[in-house]
């Protein structure tokens, strides 16, 4: 028998030596049966979750090798089924794929051999246990984060305007280093001044695009990154600046069969909110002025084709917001602006809110060329030209009576 080995460990509760341990177990199993382990066909994935088979170069290389002809090995040895996948569907699909290509799979610690008639049932049973383990782990993680929030500790990433400071527990680890109960936010005054300026500009009718340009010219970006319109919008919507710690506003669900996580907004009644007045950077009055300004802009933009000229709302992309998605009716906007591919139009809800299945993207150049060519063709039609002339003459005659300036 020609033997291949697969090993994987995840970064949560395991160490890198786990790979060596799994490979050693497989080698002993093969030696006891006088099977030949092919050193060129030992596949590993280090510090990778078993929740999906995507993003697993070792496993994908194993499957690719198994599909070649002639087949390079006869048996794949794995410590247990969870090393292949903790998702039931992925575990079954992987074993069935290898069987289809004539490769036998043996899960050593569980005593499961794909050559057995009961293999599918046994993998299904263990896969169910592994899947429940993942769900229970996620629940425990959320409970732990909720507890940290209630104690006033940081549960998320960095936030502009603050820095995180460790709270010592009074104990040390085995190396003599101090241990910490968690981290608490404190106001970073120089950044807080910038945050207040952003809110003042927005409340005064300055658009996000203009605010971004002003900061790019005068203030270093967050964590040495350039200022973007997205970062400005996130600041203007972040209630932490009111002195609130909010947890549970967003939940991330893994898309079945992939490692892609989809962002889901949760209803307000599921949020945990802790008031921390010492973290306040923006006053209620300033916050409400920004919200009022947003209402005015939204009302003015509703059905208004001159949106690009309105104060407080500017876009450097010609058709951004004018086009509508054919599936959900949401606005078509520039959803990416890569340096290589360039700006690309796409559905706002599909790309940023994940509530639409229309994942089509099209380059800015292609969209604008087609639309401008079409507009030009329409404007050159005799009936359109006649209509424009009639309307221009009518409005120029009505202007004096209504007190408006005559059109040039």
303-330 pLDDT, tens digit each: 554 444 444 345 667 777 678 888 888 8
Q: For residue range 176-227, what is the model confidence (pLDDT) as tens digits? A: 777 777 788 889 999 999 999 999 999 998 988 889 989 988 898 888 888 9
Q: For residue range 263-304, what is the model confidence (pLDDT) as tens digits? A: 777 888 877 788 888 889 999 999 999 999 988 887 776 655
Per-residue confidence (pLDDT) for residue 129, from 0 to 100: 72
Based on the structure, what is the number of domains in the chain? Answer: 3
CB neighbour list of residue 85: distance below 8 Å, 6 or more residues apart:
50, 51, 52, 53, 91, 94, 127, 130
State both tokens at 371.
Answer: 């639309």
Per-residue confidence (pLDDT) for residue 313, from 0 to 100: 46
Question: What is the band of 75 on the pLDDT scale with cuts at 50, 70, 90?
Answer: very high
Choosing from 117, 136, 155, the residue where a domain stops is 136
- The most confident of 30-34, 93-97, 142-146, 341-345, by mean pLDDT: 30-34
Same domain, 117 and 220: no
Instruction: Report, in this order, helix, strand and coil percent for the chain, each rounded to 5.
Output: 45, 20, 35
Whether residue 168 is contained in a domain is answered as no
Contact 262, 301 (CB under 8 A): no
Whether residue 161 is contained in a domain is answered as no
Q: Please give the residue that has the higher pLDDT: either 29 or 393.
A: 29
Q: For residue range 224-238, what is the model confidence (pLDDT) as tens digits? A: 888 988 899 999 999
Whether residue 221 is contained in a domain is answered as yes
Choosing from 121, 136, 151, the residue where a domain stops is 136
Per-residue confidence (pLDDT) for residue 305, from 0 to 100: 43
Q: For residue range 98-154, what is the model confidence (pLDDT) as tens digits? A: 999 999 999 998 888 998 888 888 877 776 676 666 666 666 666 666 666 666 677
Alpha carbon distance 140, 128 (integer Å): 18
- Per the structure, the complete domain to which residue 247 belongs is given by 190-294
Q: Please give the residue that has the higher pLDDT: either 109 or 72.
A: 72
Q: Strand pairing partners for 78?
A: 6, 107
266 DSSP assignment: P
Helix axes 364-379 and 382-402, enclosed angle (nearest 10): 80
Same domain, 252 and 323: no
Pairing of strands 2-9, 36-46: parallel
- What CATH number corresponds to the domain at position 128? 3.40.50.1390
CB neighbour list of residue 51: distance below 8 Å, 6 or more residues apart:
85, 86, 87, 134, 254, 259
State both tokens at 51.
Answer: 């929740």
- Torsion angles phi and psi, residue 316, rounded to 5: -85, -5
Evaluate if residue 402 carries a pLDDT over 60: no
Choosing from 247, 262, 294, the residue where a domain stops is 294
Phi-psi region of 241 (alpha: psi -120 to 50; beta: other; left: phi over 0): alpha
Same domain, 49 and 96: yes
Contact 84, 13 (CB under 8 A): no
Same domain, 229 and 345: no
Whether residue 265 is contained in a domain is answered as yes
State both tokens at 83.
Answer: 């090393």
Alpha carbon distance 43, 60 (integer Å): 9
């Amino acid at each position: 028998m020609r033997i291949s080995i697969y090993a994987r460990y995840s970064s949560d509760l395991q160490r890198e030596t786990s790979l060596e341990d799994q490979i050693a177990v497989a080698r002993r199993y093969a030696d006891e049966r006088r099977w030949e382990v092919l050193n060129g066909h030992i596949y590993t994935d280090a510090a990778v979750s078993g929740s999906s088979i995507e993003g697993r170069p070792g496993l994908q290389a194993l499957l690719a090798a198994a599909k070649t002809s002639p087949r390079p090995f006869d048996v794949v040895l794995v410590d247990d089924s969870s090393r292949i996948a903790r998702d039931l569907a992925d575990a079954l699909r992987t074993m069935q794929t290898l069987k289809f290509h004539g490769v036998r799979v043996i899960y050593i610690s569980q005593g499961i051999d794909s050559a057995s008639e009961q293999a599918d049932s046994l993998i299904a049973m263990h896969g169910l246990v592994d899947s429940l383990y993942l769900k229970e782990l996620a629940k425990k993680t959320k409970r732990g984060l909720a507890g940290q929030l209630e104690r006033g500790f940081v549960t998320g990433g960095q936030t502009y305007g603050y820095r995180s400071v460790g709270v010592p527990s009074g104990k040390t680890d085995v190396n003599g280093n101090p241990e910490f109960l968690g981290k608490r936010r404190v106001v970073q005054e120089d950044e807080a001044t910038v945050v207040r300026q952003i809110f003042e500009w927005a409340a005064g009718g300055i658009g996000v695009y203009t605010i971004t340009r002003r900061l790019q010219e005068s203030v270093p970006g967050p964590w040495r990154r350039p200022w973007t319109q997205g970062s400005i919008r996130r600041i203007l919507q972040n209630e932490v600046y009111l002195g609130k710690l909010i947890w549970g506003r967003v939940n991330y669900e893994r898309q079945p069969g992939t490692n892609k996580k989809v962002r889901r907004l949760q209803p307000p009644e599921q949020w945990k909110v802790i008031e921390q007045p010492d973290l306040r950077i923006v006053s209620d009055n300033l916050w409400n002025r920004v919200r009022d300004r947003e209402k005015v802009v939204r009302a003015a933009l509703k059905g208004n084709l001159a949106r690009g000229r309105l104060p407080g709302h500017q876009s450097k992309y010609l058709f951004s917001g004018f086009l509508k998605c054919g599936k959900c009716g949401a606005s078509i906007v520039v959803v990416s602006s890569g340096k290589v591919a360039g700006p690309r139009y796409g559905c706002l809800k599909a790309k940023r809110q994940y509530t639409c299945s229309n994942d089509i993207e099209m380059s800015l150049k292609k969209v604008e060329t087609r639309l401008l060519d079409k507009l030009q063709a329409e404007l050159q039609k005799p009936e359109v030209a006649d209509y424009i002339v009639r309307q221009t003459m009518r409005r120029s005659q009505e202007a004096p009576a209504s007190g408006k300036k005559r059109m040039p």
